[in-house]
Amino acid sequence: MFPVTVEAIAGFCGGTIEGDEARAIKGVNALEDASEEELSFVASRRAAAQAASSRAGCLLVAADFDNRSRRTVVRVQDPRAAFAHVISVLYPKRKPAPGIHPTAVIGNDARIGNGCSIAANVTLGERTIVGANSVIAPGCVIGDDVTIGEGCLLYANVTVYDRVRIGSRVILHAGSIIGADGFGFAFTGEQYEKFPQIGTIDIGDDVEVGANTCIDRAALGATRIGEGTKLDNMVHIAHNCQIGRHVVIAAQTGFSGGVTVGDYAVVGGQVGVGDKARIEPRSVVGSGAGILTSKIVRAGEPVWGTPARPLHEYLKQLAALTKMPAMLEQLKELRSRVEELEKI
């Protein structure tokens, strides 16, 4: 759609223009790399300080941005969100043409909605339903009795096991596995016996699942992912977890069985969560934190560290830890003095 005018960009995101509304914009870029013909955005104090030296032809900025340099800007409520929206408008993703590739294998009584694209080497199981306008990329394997909603996008080599329900407008990135058995075993005599995993998975609308992420089916009942939740790459959600609405979980985080996460919680990368722990709505768990089995993370102050504890407490303990070498040297000196005194 390039080039476009600043006026058109303001129309896309509902912003207010200051400067040259007729300026032509031919692309988007990071603040420090943008040229006079590119759009960028300012969403933090640090970025605001960098803006003076940026060559960007137009900036998306907040209402309180200091534009003393009188450059061309578009004021919006949330510059980052507005920038993302403009990108989605100016760089629309190419959607494959509807149809079923001749190499796809379609099971008995499977139903495929209008406008769907089923690519090469896809397997759809028996009685599986694919909603209208969904796209299933090459190499995906979809089991029996699966329901996929409307407008979904499954990238290459996604695997969905039997009896999984996926809502509408869900995105599953390449290599994600939905519905593998939970890690359930009972120790009997001298060996482990597999506990049958006969539950299912229920994924709500507008969920995005990152590449190589695994969501395990429930032993009984359902593992649930609430609407609007976003999972990064290489996340593991174990059996019977209940993930709320609009939760964000960063890469390499793992949840043990039966974990509950409340709506709008934020979980950083490389977090480990023990069995049946509970993360309350709107909680924030810092990267690398460890939450022990059955523990509760209360909403309010972010938690950090292992075991996870309030951020102010974690920082205090971390500061004390950095003083340990000096304290040990002082202790050695005091011990030496005591030994000298004992000789008198």
Number of structural domains the chain divides into: 3
Q: Provide the residue type at 88 as one letter.
A: S
Residues 75 and 211 in one domain: no
Residues 81 and 164 in one domain: no
Average pLDDT, rounded, for the chain: 94
pLDDT, position 71: 92
Over residues 124-130, the mean pLDDT reads 98
pLDDT in tens, 248-260: 999 999 999 999 9
Position 342 confidence tier, pLDDT thresholds 50, 70, 90 = confident
What's the rounded Cα separation, in Å, for the pair 272 and 237?
A: 11
Residue whose entry in the numeric block shows the structure tokens 């992420």: 213
Residue whose entry in the numeric block shows the structure tokens 């996340």: 235
What's the rounded Cα separation, in Å, for the pair 190 and 208?
A: 42
pLDDT, position 198: 93
Task: Report whether pLDDT(324) > 90.
Answer: no
pTM given for the model? 0.86
Over residues 309-316, the mean pLDDT reads 83
**In CATH, what number is assigned to the domain containing residue 47?**
3.40.1390.10
**Domain range for residue 21?**
4-90
Q: Which of 31, 64, 90 marks a domain boundary?
A: 90
Residues 288 and 145 in one domain: yes
Residues 40 and 158 in one domain: no
Over residues 26-30, the mean pLDDT reads 94
Residues 112 and 76 in one domain: no
pLDDT, position 337: 82
Residues 129 and 267 in one domain: yes
Residues 112 and 154 in one domain: yes
Task: Report whether pLDDT(28) > 90.
Answer: yes
Q: How is residue 41 annotated by DSSP?
A: E
Distance of CA 337 to the CA centre of its chain: 57
Give phi and psi for 183, each to the nearest 5.
Answer: -85, 80
Of 71-75, 185-189, 283-287, least confident by mean pLDDT is: 185-189
Over residues 66-86, the mean pLDDT reads 93
Task: Report whether pLDDT(40) > 90.
Answer: yes
pLDDT, position 1: 65
Residues 44 and 109 in one domain: no
Choose between 69 and 294: higher pLDDT. Answer: 294
41 CB-near residues (< 8 Å, 6+ apart)? 31, 47, 59, 60, 61, 79, 80, 82, 83
Which residue of the set 85, 101, 173, 239 is catalytic?
Answer: 239
Q: Which of 44, 69, 90 marks a domain boundary?
A: 90
**In CATH, what number is assigned to the domain containing residue 279?**
2.160.10.10
173 is catalytic: no
Residues 75 and 125 in one domain: no
pLDDT, position 313: 84
CA distances 40 to 36, 65, 95, Å, are 10, 14, 26
Residues 34 and 160 in one domain: no
Q: Which of 90, 112, 141 marks a domain boundary?
A: 90
CA angle 68, 69, 72 (to 5 degrees): 110
Residues 328 and 235 in one domain: no
Residues 268 and 325 in one domain: no
